[in-house]
Amino acid sequence: MAKPEFDDIYMELAVNIAKRSHCIKAQVGAVLARDTRIISIGYNGPPSGTHNCDEEFPEHGCARDSKGSCSLALHAEQNAILFAAKNGSQVDGATLYVTLSPCIACARIIFSMKISKVVFLDSYAQYKGLVADEGVEFLRKFGVEVIQYDKNRLSHLFK
């Protein structure tokens, strides 16, 4: 039996971590890893100690901001990076596995934290109905390797 690749392990974990999200609109998971070791994990949702959208606002979710995004939530990438930084973990040179490609705001954080590679499952632009994946374009423009993960490698999770 062939051993799974680390990319497969980390993306599968990101998919499962996403299930912890309290967001009723989209559940996103992230795994931050370096040298075959997990540094941090995160999923999208409001900061700890505030509201859980699926519990407090089960019909419509939390209030939306002027751009139509959740007014409370941190993105999965933000949560993973913040947790790592809070705990003194070095993230420079790490790889971020995320179930939805980074938005432009997350891309700026990823670049600023010197994360060297992003592997994503689904397109943020397609999810939001945007023309382009601005976050992906930004990261590539400034030298961060960005790869879309082949969803067929995890077909057993989507049956």
Q: Residue 101, Cβ neighbours under 10 Å: how many?
A: 26
Residue from 56, 77, 137, 145 carrying the catalytic annotation:
77
Q: Is the dihedral of CA 133, 6, 79, 109 positive or negative?
A: negative
Contacts of 50 (CB under 8 A, 6+ apart): 72
Query: 153: which DSSP letter?
Result: G
Helix axes 104-112, 134-141, angle to 10 degrees: 30
The answer to whether residue 55 is catalytic is no
Strand 95-100 and strand 145-148: the pairing is unpaired
Helices (H), 87-123: 104-112
Residue 30's nearest CA partner among 152, 115, 134 is: 115
Q: Is the dihedral of CA 12, 16, 21, 22 positive or negative?
A: positive
Question: Which residues are catalytically annotated?
Answer: 77
